[in-house]
């Protein structure tokens, strides 16, 4: 594959991942993944409180599942700029927002992109800010894009111990596949912002005011034990371990069966509401 002329040097690994691996995977899983995050979307929108006429910068807009309600709330007099690394995901998002004049989608890396300065009233993100190679530099760049008085509201995953839908499958995967390759601490990924003190230090260093990182319980909406076991081998920490180890078909089948049994024991077979916890990140630019 030829080099991507848009790929920034600052976050090259995540650019490659979201264009060649994770982005296409999310497009394939599409409706299955988005259906489980309904409560997350509602929580983010309630905390962010977008108002009619506001200008919103959305980091990691993905398939536009949060872009659409943000656009509805700001109305025709406002605007939402949705930014994402992933060309496959943005292609789907573009179809979803077609005809909405208050939405623009941009393929760019929010860590380094030259946004208009002091322009946005709100920066919002659902699971999009944990993938920066240099999070302090990224949030400093985001802060410059906020007008004085503007605010940030982002959802990130809390610790894996607070999220049994990940903790349980990972424990099973580790027994079958062994530990992953060593990684530097806080490597960009789903759990990079799980330490609330660490996240506060990032926003403090980036110059934000009134920084708050609070834990928030939510429910994820599953459909069946079999589907949860399948998803656990595709996404999250257990999915990453499966992708790294590449088990044969027999091992993968045994892994899914044991994950299904473990989830059944933990939930009584009811996966329609899977308890999870988020870190809600909120801050202001006062000046």
Q: Hey, where are the domains in the chain?
A: 1-158+194-217+275-287, 160-184+223-271
Residue 267 in this model has a pLDDT that exceeds 80: yes
* Phi, psi angle pair for 20, to nearest 5°: -115, -20
How is the beta sheet containing 103-107 ordered, strand by strand? 103-107, 79-84, 55-59, 120-126, 146-157, 274-284, 209-220
Provide the terminal-to-terminal Cα distance of the chain, rounded to the nearest Å.
45
- With 50 as the cut, is the pLDDT of residue 1 above it? no
In sequence order, the β-bridge partners of residue 280 are 155, 214
pLDDT band of 251, cuts 50, 70, 90: very high
Query: Minimal CA–CA distance to 123: which of 193, 65, 54?
Result: 54
Cβ atoms of residues 163 and 157 within 8 Å? yes
In this structure, what DSSP letter does residue 180 have?
P
Average pLDDT in the 260-275 region? 88
Name the band, by pLDDT with cuts 50, 70 and 90, for residue 4: low
Q: How confident is the model at residue 254 (pLDDT cuts 50, 70, 90)?
A: very high
Q: 168 near 246, Cβ under 8 Å?
A: no
| CA 115, 118, 122, 123 torsion-angle sign | positive
Cα separation of 263 and 172, whole Å? 10
Lowest mean pLDDT, pick from 70-79, 124-133, 205-214, 221-230? 221-230
Q: What is the pLDDT of residues 15-38, one digit of tens each?
A: 999 999 999 999 998 878 888 999
Average pLDDT over residues 43-57: 98
Residue among 253, 247, 248 at smallest CA distance from 226: 253
Torsion sign, CA atoms 180, 183, 185, 186: negative
Q: Which residues pair with 57 in a beta bridge?
A: 81, 123
Question: What is the pLDDT of the chain when averaged over all its residues?
Answer: 94
Quote the tokens at residue 242: 């499966």
Measured between alpha carbons, how far is residue 109 from residues 18, 39, 66, 75, 191 in Å? 11, 27, 18, 26, 19
| pLDDT reported for residue 223 | 85
Residue 30: the pLDDT is 80
Rounded to an integer, the average pLDDT of 185-200 is 95
CATH of domain 1-158+194-217+275-287: 3.40.50.150
């Amino acid at each position: 594959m030829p080099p991507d002329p848009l790929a920034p040097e600052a976050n090259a690994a995540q650019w490659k991942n979201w264009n060649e691996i994770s982005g296409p995977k999310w497009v394939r899983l599409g409706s299955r993944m988005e259906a489980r995050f309904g409560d997350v979307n509602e929580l983010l929108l309630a905390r962010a409180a977008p108002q009619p006429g506001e200008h919103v910068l959305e980091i990691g807009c993905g398939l536009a599942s949060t872009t659409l309600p943000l656009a509805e709330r700001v109305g025709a007099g406002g605007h939402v700029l949705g930014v994402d690394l992933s060309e496959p995901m943005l292609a789907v998002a573009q179809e979803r927002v077609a005809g909405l004049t208050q939405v623009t989608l941009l393929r760019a890396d929010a860590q380094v992109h030259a946004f208009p300065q002091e322009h946005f009233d709100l920066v919002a993100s659902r699971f999009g800010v944990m993938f920066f190679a240099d999070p302090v530099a990224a949030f400093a760049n985001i802060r410059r894009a906020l007008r004085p008085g503007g605010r940030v509201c982002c959802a990130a995953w809390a610790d894996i111990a607070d999220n049994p839908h990940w903790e349980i499958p990972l424990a099973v995967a580790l027994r079958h596949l062994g530990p992953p390759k060593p990684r530097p601490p806080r490597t960009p990924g789903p759990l990079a912002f799980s330490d609330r003190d660490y996240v506060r230090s990032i926003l403090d260093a980036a110059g934000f005011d009134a920084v708050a990182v609070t834990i928030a319980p939510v429910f994820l909406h599953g459909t069946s034990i079999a589907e949860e076991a399948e998803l656990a081998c595709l996404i999250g920490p257990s999915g990453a371990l499966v992708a790294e180890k590449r088990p044969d078909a027999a091992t993968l089948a045994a892994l899914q069966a044991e994950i299904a049994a473990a989830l059944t024991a933990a939930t009584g077979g009811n996966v329609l509401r899977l308890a999870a916890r988020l870190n809600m990140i909120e801050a202001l630019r006062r000046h």
